[in-house]
Amino acid sequence: MAATHTGITEQVLSYQAPDPPVQEFEPPTDRAFFADPDKKSLLSAARELRKLTPYIGTELVGIQLSQLTDKQKDELALLVAERGVVFFRDQDLTLDQQYELNAHYGIQDRDPNQQDPKHVTILGRNSDIRKYGDYGGEYHCDHSFEANPPAYTMLRMIRTPQAGGDTLFTSQTALYDKLSPVFQKMFDGLHAIHSSEASFINSINNGYQPFRGPVRREHPLVRVHPVTKVKSLYYNPTFIVHLRELKGQESTHMLNFLREHLHAADDLTVRWKWTPGAVAFWDNRVVAHRAIPGGYDPSTREGKRTAVFGEKPVPVIEGDGSETLSQRIWRLGGEEASFEETKLYFNSPLV
Ligand SMILES: [Fe+2]
């Protein structure tokens, strides 16, 4: 967490957002609950399933999202929940078809800065992520300051530069899994305050008119995925301002640790290079992402993002049947389990 000036200007102080905050509600049942655990219908339709990294990211080759049956859509939700993000290239999906697909997964969410009620237009950015006060280039999960932060989120890229504008996705289930048991237990009991204040101020100072005012909401720092029951960090360096149970400096240093833990996670991250017509479909509950700005003409990048409301983040509760990612891998067995033994020996033996 970097301390910055607040950016409070006359415009910020006098701005009246037209809409009230979104109230907490119970979203429809997650479609992944309805999926065949083997995903036979979806996987048999794909020409190839490419795991892009061991812990996150799968590319499905030979599938058109516009042609999926409802059964395949449900299986895709489960695959996304398990792999964090699923990618497709050369899609013929139109914007209306994207809305329709999104509606299968729940109720359309709306970002406070979203002009069109049905989607966010994602554009290129040419800023330097290292400059003082740069906003928007950091890892995040989309608008986690809401009572029901988004679950399934889709970005379809229409135009993209030949080089630049890649997106990084990092698995927060794996980030949690790679912590020592001592840190896992401590984090299980913590809550984070997510705030949209900096985003709100930044929007107004850049000439936008957010339609909801700034809010702060508290979510567990570790959440349980309702379908997979896997424990996941719910860390977000863009919106978290404080860890509720900790004192000031304790919170600052713990958040700095978490930021380093996320930024050093090359082994838990997939970097997606966009091409026109490519789609990323991710589970915002268990993945942090970041678009890489800089070095290209921002007008050459444009995509459409849709998202659905998720449940109020579920905390870890003793006896809830939740497990860590490696526990899940061991339970399911097979070749992957044989590679997943380092957790037992996470400290090198003394020599
Ligand atoms: Fe985002």
138-182 pLDDT, tens digit per residue, is: 999 999 999 999 999 999 999 999 999 999 999 999 999 999 999
Ligand 1 center to 129 CA (angstroms): 15
Lowest mean pLDDT among 27-41, 53-67, 204-218, 257-271: 204-218
Ligand 1 center to 153 CA (angstroms): 9
Ligand 1 center to 305 CA (angstroms): 9
Q: Is the pLDDT of residue 263 over 80?
A: yes
Q: Rounded CA gap, 59 and 88, in Å?
A: 6
Strands 58-61, 85-88: pairing is: parallel
Structure tokens at 309: 């409301």
Q: Rounded CA gap, 345 and 124, in Å?
A: 43
Q: Is the pLDDT of residue 3 over 60?
A: no
Radius of gyration of the chain (CA): 20
pLDDT of residue 206: 87
End-to-end CA separation in angstroms for the chain: 37
Ligand 1 center to 50 CA (angstroms): 24
CB atoms within 10 A of CB 190: 16
Ligand 1 center to 188 CA (angstroms): 25
Structure tokens at 162: 């030949």
Q: Rounded CA gap, 92 and 44, in Å?
A: 20
Q: Rounded CA gap, 15 and 201, in Å?
A: 10
Please provide residue 140's backbone torsions phi and psi, each rounded to the nearest 5 degrees.
-165, 165
Ligand 1 center to 316 CA (angstroms): 25
pLDDT of residue 351: 53
Give the CB-side neighbour count of residue 19, counting CA atoms within 13 A.
Answer: 15
292, with CB counted inside 10 A (0-12, 13-18, 19+), is middle
Q: Rounded CA gap, 285 and 142, in Å?
A: 9
Confidence of residue 2 (pLDDT cuts 50, 70, 90): very low
The answer to whether the CB of 56 falls within 8 A of the CB of 171 is yes
pLDDT of residue 28: 97
Ligand 1 center to 184 CA (angstroms): 26
Q: Is the pLDDT of residue 275 over 80?
A: yes
- Mean pLDDT, all residues of the chain: 93
The residues whose Cβ lies within 5 A of ligand 1, an ion, are 142
Please provide residue 182's backbone torsions phi and psi, each rounded to the nearest 5 degrees.
-65, -45
Ligand 1 center to 111 CA (angstroms): 10
pLDDT of residue 1: 44
Q: Rounded CA gap, 52 and 66, in Å?
A: 23
pLDDT of residue 345: 61
Q: Rounded CA gap, 248 and 242, in Å?
A: 8
Q: Rounded CA gap, 88 and 279, in Å?
A: 5
Q: What is the mean pLDDT of residues 238-264?
A: 98
Ligand 1 center to 140 CA (angstroms): 6
Structure tokens at 19: 């809409």
Q: What is the pTM of this model?
A: 0.95
- Which residue reads 């149970």 in tokens? 245
Q: What is the mean pLDDT of residues 103-120?
A: 89
Buried-exposed string 239-256: b where 16+ CB fall within 10 A, e elsewhere: bbebbeebeeeebeebbe
Q: What is the mean pLDDT of residues 69-94?
A: 98
320-345 pLDDT tens trace: 999 999 999 999 988 888 887 665 56
Look up the CATH superfamily of 29-331.
Clavaminate synthase-like (3.60.130.10)
